[in-house]
Amino acid sequence: MFCVLINDSGAGGYDNNAAYFAEISVWASEHCASYVDYDVQDVSDVSYHWDEIAEYRFKDEKDVFMFKLRYGV
């Protein structure tokens, strides 16, 4: 299993995080055959920069590469 972390910096504010992470998930499911799912974790207690981060999971490293190219990770 391969994982990629995305922070909420592109969301435009805490209230937009859920939609932002879900939109990324939709893109991954449409373009990455081995995309499995994602999970969002609240990190506001331990981070000065982000409120939440999302972990996207893939079965194939090729899809991870394409995902990283798309989202600049």
Q: What is the pLDDT along the chain (73 residues), one digit of tens a residue?
A: 899 999 888 888 778 899 999 999 999 999 999 999 999 998 877 877 778 999 999 999 999 999 999 987 7
Q: Which residue has the tokens 């592109």?
A: 10
- The crossing angle, in degrees rounded to 10, of helices 17-31 and 61-71 is 130
Note the pLDDT of residue 9: 83
As to burial, measured by CB atoms within 10 angstroms (0-12 exposed, 13-18 middle, 19+ buried), residue 19 is exposed
Q: Which residue has the tokens 């974790």?
A: 41
pTM: 0.89
Note the pLDDT of residue 47: 72
